[in-house]
Chains A and B, each alone.
Chain A
Amino acid sequence: MLQEYLPVLIFIIVGLGLGVALLGVGSIVSPHRPDKQKNSPYECGFGEFESARIPFDVRFYLVAILFIIFDLETAFFFPWALALTEIGWFGLLAMGLFLGLLVIGFIFEWKKGALEWE
């Protein structure tokens, strides 16, 4: 069973190696002539005003939280989808109930304006 995952593991090592090797080659053969202007962060021709680590819009955070809920939901759906032929109508209805609860939550979010961007 786990034997089948060996190529995956080797592929991960090769993939990491390829990235490192490309960067390595690039940093060896490319010129290296830094100067103050070149190395400053890009800001449309200005010198930078302040650090980029400024507070960001809370809605990005909200999206991330909603994502966790729905992604977890997907995680519950995957095994159910595979076992659907074995668990019968009861399994289907049980999942329908679960989905129904989530839909109520989704409607609540929607009505509360968690999905609004303006």
Chain B
Amino acid sequence: MIMGLLEELPAFAWILIKIVAILIPLLLGVAYLTFAERKVIGYIQGRIGPNRVGFRGMLQPFADIIKLVFKEIIIPVRSNRYLFFVAPIFTLTPALIAWAAIPFAPNLILANINAGVLYVFAMSSIAVYGILIAGWASNSKYAMFGALRSAAQTISYEISMGFALVGVLIAAGSMNFQDIILAQQGSLLNWFFIPLLPLFMVFWISGIAETNRAPFDLAEGESEIVAGFHVEYSGVSFALFFLAEYASMILISFLLAILFLGGWLSPFEGIPGLDEWFAWVPGLAWMLLKVSFFLFAYLWLRATFPRYRYDQLMRLGWKVLIPTTIVWIPVVAVLVKLNVGPWFS
């Protein structure tokens, strides 16, 4: 028994190394996404943004992290102590572990599981528990309202997101992320955002709403309910919510790139001349380029659009996005059945 475990040890160590190799770039990505957010929104609004710590403010994220770690963790008197600390962990963990099934480049993936899409979808759904627990355990009105709003919003947009995913599954015929990317091979015209354009838009909007980002950030609308469900959190316990939110933003951007924009595939594929020119570019670079586009769009949208009102938010989710997907799923199914080219032939 013990000998058997010892033989497995190198395999375990190798898996651990791979997990660390995913987590460290992810956490650095989160750190610099917060920096990029402040810089981008600063420049859009005609400000400079943070520029004091390090060269042009490049070390700002680390200053923020150090500050947060050394801040007091306040436990409100009437909160449920244990749930109060379980909630941030419960929010962060799903946002991190969803990355197990995400492919970064051909075969650069931690767990190449058959039901990858289902797994990631499930993990992104679990996050709502963390929000509800946080709002309830805080025993504060603003936290409670924020949690209720946020939970209702997340589950409403999860439906349209799930339906949009069904469209992708029909088109690709697989739940494995690598297979979905390979199904879009050929050229830029084969990417799923063309035949699934309405679903692409629905998924994008739902993704922004799922992560509670502007213009759908009314769960934490500063001017009405201060910070929403995490109003009572401070120090590291707040940082965990922050980390989870940004990690899910990056996750949604990866999903958009994989499901609709061909993941690591080059946009110049199949074009004589250009294809050979760009053959040296690794798949990871294309992937990150597409992801950066969606992340920039997150910041751009936040700087551009005013916040939705709650009834508008619910109307958009239930009366626009869900009917759109219900119409487009049969259309995709018929397109696949008729083998309409160039996507499904």
Contact = CB atoms under 8 A, between A and B. Distances in A.
Contacts of A53: 139, 144
Interface stretch (B31-39, B275-283, B331-339): B331-339
B255 interface: no
B139 A78 contact: no
B236 A64 contact: no
A7 B15 contact: yes
Contact of A40 (B68, B73, B76, B163): B76
Nearest to A39: B77
B219 to A, nearest CB: 12
A115 B315 contact: yes
A19 B100 contact: no
Nearest to A76: B166
A4 B237 contact: no
Given A4-B111, A77-B163, A117-B315, A30 B72 contact: yes
B174 A82 contact: yes
Interface string A47-65: 0100111101100100110
A63 B139 contact: no
Interface stretch (B47-55, B84-92, B265-273): B84-92
Interface string A92-115: 100110010001001000100001
B159 A74 contact: yes
Interface string B76-112: 1111000001001100111011011100000000111
Please classify how large the interface on chain B is, using the bins under 10, 10 to 19, 20 to 34, 35 or more: 35 or more
Contacts of B236: 22-23, 25-27, 30
B23 interface: yes
Contact of B155 (A40, A64, A77): A64
Interface string B166-184: 1101100111000000000
Given A15-B92, A64-B152, A84-B337, A41 B140 contact: yes
B97 A8 contact: yes
A43 B140 CA distance: 8
Nearest to B330: A96
B239 to A, nearest CB: 7
B56 interface: no
B188 to A, nearest CB: 24
Interface string B17-57: 01100010000000000000000000000000000000000
Given A22-B240, A29-B69, A92-B333, A71 B112 contact: no
Given A12-B93, A31-B72, A41-B141, 4 more contacts: A26-B235, A40-B77, A41-B77, A118-B311
Interface of B: 12, 15-16, 18-19, 23, 68-79, 85, 88-89, 92-94, 96-97, 99-101, 110-114, 118-119, 138-144, 148, 151-152, 155-156, 158-159, 162-163, 165-167, 169-170, 173-175, 226, 231-232, 235-237, 239-240, 310-311, 314-315, 318-319, 322-323, 326, 329-330, 333-334, 336-337
22 contacts: A6-B111, A7-B19, A7-B110, A26-B68, A26-B69, A29-B70, A39-B75, A41-B141, A43-B141, A43-B142, A48-B140, A53-B139, A54-B141, A56-B144, A66-B318, A67-B158, A70-B162, A74-B162, A74-B166, A78-B118, A99-B329, A103-B326
